Chain A
Amino acid sequence: MAISLMVNGQSRSFEIEADTPLLWVIRDELGLKGTKFGCGAALCGACTVHLNGTPIRSCSTPVSAVEGQEITTIEGISGSTTLHKLQQAWVDHGVPQCGYCQSGQLMTAAHLLSYNAAPTEDEIAAAMSGNICRCGTYSNMVAAIQSVAGSQGEA
């Protein structure tokens, strides 16, 4: 079927089977490789993108279900700026090890800060619990999120 999506602020149209997971559309039809395949079953969070600003698991979302809607991927997370504050914090705190899960982690963290500007450590851990990191970079992630939460408060 013919599908149109708004991806990172741009309208994109293509022909694809309705049941194709959004993940493979983003990666292979649109060429945005920052969103990763980890489990294919909404269990690990590596494929997390935003649907109208809310995180979803793109590996388990048929593209037909998001027809005409707004999708944001790691490539679009910073909007018009070069880097999202969280991305800079990820670099400053040396969060990524293998790095494979980090796009998904960042998408989840960005959403957390969008509705809770100053989350507690427990709130951060709870919000991030759906995203697996096999390298175990969790504590640096939490510190990075807290540093941005702090700076947002001051701004």
Chain B
Amino acid sequence: MTMNRRDFLKVATASSGGLLVSLNLAACAGTPTGFSEDSGSWQPDAWLELSQDNQVYFTLARVEMGQGAYTGLTTLIAEELGVAPEHIQVRFSPVGKDYINPAIGLQMTGGSTSLATSWQPLRVAGASAREMLVSAAARVWKVAPGDCSVSNGQVLHPNGSDALKFGQLVELAAKETVPDEPALKPAEEWQYIGKSRGRLDAMAKSTGTAQYGIDVELPGMVYAVVTRPPRYGAKLASFDATQALAMPGVLDVFAIDRGVALVADKYWRARKAQQTLKIEWNNEEALAVSNASVMEFYRKAAEEDPGVNEREEGDPEGAIESATRVVEVAYEQPYLAHAAMEPMNATAVYHGDRMEVWAPTQAPDLGRIAVARVTDLSPGDVDIHTTFMGGGFGRRLTQDFIEEAAAVAYQVRKPVKLIWSREEDTRHGLYRPAMLHRMKASISGDQLTGWHHQIVGPQILDWYVRNAAPAQYPWAPKFLYDTLGKVGLMAEGMATPKDVSAIEGAVDYPYQVPNIEVRHTHVDPGVPITWWRSVGYSHNGFAVETFMDELAHELGQDPYQFRRGLLQNEPRHLAVLERAAELGNWSAPVPEGRARGIAVHRSFGTYVAQVVEASIEGGNIRVHRVACAVDCGEVVNPDIVKDQIESGVIFGITAALYGNVTFENGAVKESNFHDYQVLRNHQRPEVEVAIIESREMPTGVGEPGVPPVIPALGNALFALTGQRQRALPLKA
């Protein structure tokens, strides 16, 4: 029986969101686990490779886009293996079933899942390899394994003086029995987990040597740019490339599914020639919406369709009937762009029977589907090499840039690097959906008796399933791709997970109110949408926490105490709320001209509360201070947790102050950082982050810093001005 360790670790998500880890190792005791004479190295599993020259290689199955997975996941395996994280060489993983994200079922980095889903399997992998190395050493020394110890890449003899390096042991360790249940180190013995030890990628990123997708260079490489229709959904009618083809270095101009591709020997030559293209678009099926028409569409839909009941408790209708007061408001939220610093790009080369792609992608297995779609190749014929990426924020979960690069490389038969301009990145992206929230509260006397939330807007899987469904069935023939996408949607909850992108952060309304209803009116105006840092929580967090603030004022209560009173059964919410209030000096007088706002929100299993201190200076909103408390369970690297929460705060404030993608007749108006602004250094607030000590399972921190800061800022502005802003972005 040939079995590989990598097949043994089975990780599945339970319906509760908790992780179940099952180890099926016992049946294969004594099976050799992959020592290679050729390479002189041992691969105990899909992640680790230990060589005879004492190198330790770790294959990182999640991508690094700033969130710290590179450091965090390496720390987990280092801890149990017994090697300092700095001594481990990290490799980005290829596409492979061992590297699928168990929380999603695809090889995807997103949903703040990396740490949570790796916590158990990577530590078990490290511990298992360590125990096999120890057993091998004990056999050499004829001592009991339990008397040996491990330190810094060596097994230490019980006599305290002899030691064997891992490299000396790998060939023997490969013959050891794979441990049934390797013993994980107790928390008191952790050397690396829970410590702030810096980021493993900091040096490469401070010296300009980290390789991003845009830096990939292949021999004989040419450059491609693609002109896409200004209005989403328009089709190419005709183009005239006569002038472009006469320009220096221009190699070819041709139509691809997504527009007109122009290929030249140099990037700048391609850009210059692109400007001379004369293109006619057929706008029959083009999007015609504007931001105002989208909101009007939502309002009308909300009246006509109360939506699917996603949560109902008590008797919401009765609560309204018996209420002494009913408060009704609506919140409007705009489309948002990701604006990652590294523009979309991909490099592809067609080898005749295979295609190789280098790309900064959050979902390389979907990248294979994108290639298969526009070539004669099957997903299995496509190798995707991932790179460091200049921000992701969800944008790189969609593989349009790989699809374009593949279509061009397939035609020109040369290595091709495709680079989007910033303007193209802003205008031809996929966006955080614009949303409408209709809120209603039933009040009897001084009690909140009913919470009624109607969410109006699209669901992201409707767009995303196009490549995600085929990626889950890589054996499916290509003519089934579109069917799979549709079936995936129809069979939501069975073939694909229930799409909670519109309702997350609303259905899990945490406050103790006797009557609750949360409804979703599912309508889609046709604007391309995708995951955006914190997804549904980004808009539901604003709706819930702004309305809670409104209700506190309506009831004449302190917004902090009002929340506190209704969170008595939610200890983790309560703990972060109280800690943030303390850190943010909630009960102390506010400095002259400023005001404070508070919010608490759980997203991706992590609890964050924030107190924002803001003012209006010279006609501009100024955020001075943001006090944050976070409970993300067990902490692997406190510095990274704090930095990610701060990063989320800056990202959220950017959205609150500037975030607005304007559609006019189906085309995006904004183009670059002058009209799609992001917060700059001199506008940065002071951000303090307190981490709640916890032994709970670790949860992600890449996104949860975003949702509460937007309502907390809005609530601060209300406290400052007495004016409630119910549409984003906020105005001074």
User: Is the beta-carbon distance between A43 and B674 smaller than 8 angstroms?
Assistant: yes
Q: How far is the CA of A137 from the CA of B712 in the complex (A)?
A: 21
A125–B391 CB distance below 8 A: no
User: Shortest distance in angstroms between A47's beta carbon and chain B's nearest beta carbon?
Assistant: 11
Q: Report Cα–Cα, A23/B421, bound state, in Å.
A: 14
Closest chain B residue to A20, Cβ basis: B268
Beta-carbon contact of B199 and A94 below 8 Å: yes
Say if the beta carbon of B300 comes within 8 Å of chain A. no
Contact A134 B339 (CB under 8 A): yes
B550 at the interface (CB under 8 A from A): no
Would you call A136 and B651 a contact (CB within 8 A)?
yes
List which A126-155 residues lie within 8 A (CB) of chain B. Answer: 126, 128-142
**Contact B391–A96 (Cβ < 8 Å):** no
Q: Does A99 contact B (CB under 8 A)?
A: yes
Contact of A34 among B207, B341, B388 (CB under 8 A): B207
Cross-chain contact B206 with A87 (CB below 8 angstroms)? yes
Instruction: Encode A1-34 as 1/0 by CB contact (under 8 A) with B.
Output: 0000000000000000101110010011001111
Residue of A nearest to B269 (CB): A17
A32 proximity list for chain B (CB < 8 A)? 208
Please determine whether B267 and A28 come into contact, CB atoms closer than 8 angstroms. yes
With a CB–CB cut-off of 8 A, which chain B residues contact A43? 422, 672-674
A97 at the B interface (CB under 8 A): yes
Judging by beta carbons under 8 Å apart, are A98 and B391 in contact? yes
Given contacts A37-B343, A41-B674, A132-B341, contact A139 B687 (CB under 8 A): yes
**0/1 string, A108-119, CB within 8 A of B gives 1:** 000000000000
Question: In this assembly, does A58 line the interface, its C-beta being within 8 Å of a C-beta of chain B?
Answer: no
Decide: B208 and A74 in contact? CB cutoff 8 A: yes
Please judge, given known A-B contacts A38-B341, A136-B651, whether A103 and B208 are in contact too, CB under 8 Å: yes
Number of B interface residues in the complex (CB < 8 A): 64
Q: Tell me, in angstroms, the Cα distance from A99 to B342 when the chains sit together.
A: 10
Chain A proximity of B642: nearest CB distance (Å):
10
Q: Which of B65, B199, B215, B646 contacts A139 (CB 8 A)?
A: B646
Whether, in the assembled complex, B210 has its beta carbon less than 8 Å from a beta carbon of chain A, the answer is yes
Q: Is the CB of A91 within 8 A of B198?
A: yes
- Complex-state Cα separation, A46 to B214, whole angstroms: 13
Q: Is the CB of B422 within 8 A of A39?
A: yes
A31 to B651, CA, bound (A): 33
A-B CB pair tally, cutoff 8 Å: 174
Bound-complex Cα distance A41 to B675 (A) = 12
For A136, give the chain B residue with the smallest CB separation: B650
A102 CA / B203 CA spacing, docked (Å): 11
C-beta contact mask, B378-392 vs A, less than 8 Å → 1, else 0?
Answer: 000000000011111
A68 interfacial by beta-carbon distance below 8 Å: no
Which residue of chain A lies nearest to B649 when distances are taken between CB atoms in the complex?
A136
One of B9-17, B163-171, B466-474, B678-686 contacting the partner: B678-686
Rounded to whole angstroms, the CA-CA distance of A88 and B181 in the bound complex is 42
Task: Tell me if B681 and A94 are in contact (CB < 8 A).
Answer: no
Q: Which of B644-689 contact A (CB under 8 A)?
A: 644, 646-651, 672-674, 678-684, 686-687
Instruction: Check B68 against A97 for contact (C-beta < 8 Å).
Output: yes
Contacts of B269 in A (CB 8 A): 17
B residues 606-647 with Cβ under 8 Å of A?
A: 639-640, 643-644, 646-647
Contacts of B647 in A (CB 8 A): 97, 135-137
CA distance A32 to B215 in the complex (A): 9
Q: Counting chain B CB atoms within 10 Å of each CB, which of A74, A97, A130 scores highest? A: A97
B672 touches A100 (CB 8 A): no
Report if B510 contacts A (CB, 8 A): no
Are B681 and A131 in contact, with the CB atoms below 8 A?
yes
Q: Which of A28, A37, A83, A129 is in CB contact (< 8 Å) with B681?
A: A129
8 tightest A-B contacts by CB? A34-B208, A136-B650, A100-B390, A99-B205, A98-B66, A97-B66, A74-B208, A96-B205
User: A97-B647, A125-B684 known; 14 other A-B pairs, CB under 8 Å?
Assistant: A33-B208, A34-B209, A36-B212, A38-B341, A87-B206, A99-B210, A100-B342, A102-B205, A124-B681, A131-B681, A136-B649, A138-B681, A139-B646, A139-B686
User: Can you give 24 contacting A-B residue pairs, CB < 8 Å?
Assistant: A28-B266, A36-B341, A37-B343, A44-B673, A46-B341, A87-B206, A87-B207, A94-B643, A95-B202, A96-B202, A96-B206, A97-B66, A98-B65, A98-B66, A98-B340, A98-B391, A100-B341, A100-B391, A101-B341, A125-B682, A128-B682, A133-B341, A136-B650, A139-B687
Q: Which residues of A contact B (CB under 8 A)?
A: 17, 19-21, 24, 27-28, 31-41, 43-44, 46, 73-75, 83, 87, 90-92, 94-103, 106, 122, 124-126, 128-142
